[in-house]
Chain A
Amino acid sequence: MRTFRRTGSGLRGWVLSALVLACAAGHAADKAADKPADKGATVLPRESTEAAIFRGGLVYANYCVTCHGFNADGNGRAARLYNPRPANLRMSDKNDAYIGLIIRKGGEALGRSQFMPIWGDELTDEQIKDVVTYVRSINVRPKD
């Protein structure tokens, strides 16, 4: 599985800390029981939607959360700088192709906010696809 490029503070730090703690706790329990660490563990298939959502969530927590917020409702810590405010991704009516495009090319290229950065230089194709999958997974907009 791909390793992500960095660790940091905030949600991503919390997520990684939780993963480390979970691994450590699991390892200690396995040692105590004198069992191999991977017995009974569930590994998501790399190509599965669940794995993409998990990876996309990590990317989101690292790159998108500043503006779009922990809840993806457009209320990140930087949101107050912008008018219009960052998009509420939970209520987005855009399809996956559009979301992928605005991530890759930035807001200005699509006639939206110039403050939505161009992520195509920073994120891999897989990371962009994963973020789209994650954003789709948290969308709660009622279907028309």
Chain B
Amino acid sequence: MNHSKIAAACLMGLFALAGQALAAEYTVGQKSKAFTVKKLSVKVGDSVKFINEDPFTHNVFSLSDAKSFDLGSTGQGGFKNIVFDKPGTIEVECAVHPEMKMVVEVTK
């Protein structure tokens, strides 16, 4: 491998590291059968940590076109992380408590 290819690879690695360093982590609680944040705006690459602050089971899932997922269930104090890797509007729900909803707006 010549020097220019090595330099390019190093540069790409640095960009990747910088991207990770710049990505933010947000925290959303699930408390009293509600998400503690109703609407959250994040950038592509940011992550959200959902923490169960109730003494009973919660779940986190979404059926939105921009991102569909089910993070599964968590007991008291448990948490799940998810990275939002595409822009869009994502409605997040709890399968155990159908009235629990919030929106994550992901922008570039």
User: Which chain A residues have a beta carbon within 8 Å of chain B's beta carbons?
Assistant: 6, 8, 62-63, 66-67, 77-78, 80-82, 106, 114-115, 117-119, 121-122
Q: How far is the CB of A118 from chain B (nearest CB, A)?
A: 5
| Bound: A117/B56 CA distance, A | 11
Interface size class of B (residues with CB under 8 A): 10 to 19
* B30 contacts partner chain A, Cβ-Cβ < 8 Å: no
CB distance from A104 to the nearest CB of B (A): 11
The chain B residue with its CB closest to the CB of A80 is: B68
Interface SS, A side: loop
With A6-B99, A66-B95, A117-B96 as known contacts, state yes or no: A106 contacts B56, CB within 8 Å: no
User: When chains A and B are docked, how far (Å) is the Cα of A114 from the Cα of B61?
Assistant: 13
Q: Mark B68-90, 1 if CB is under 8 A from A, else 0.
A: 11101100000000000000000
Is B57 among interface residues, defined by CB-CB distance under 8 A?
yes
Residues of B within 8 Å of A106, CB to CB, are 57, 73
The complex places the Cα of A106 from the Cα of B96 at a distance, in Å, of 11
CB–CB A77/B63 < 8 A:
yes
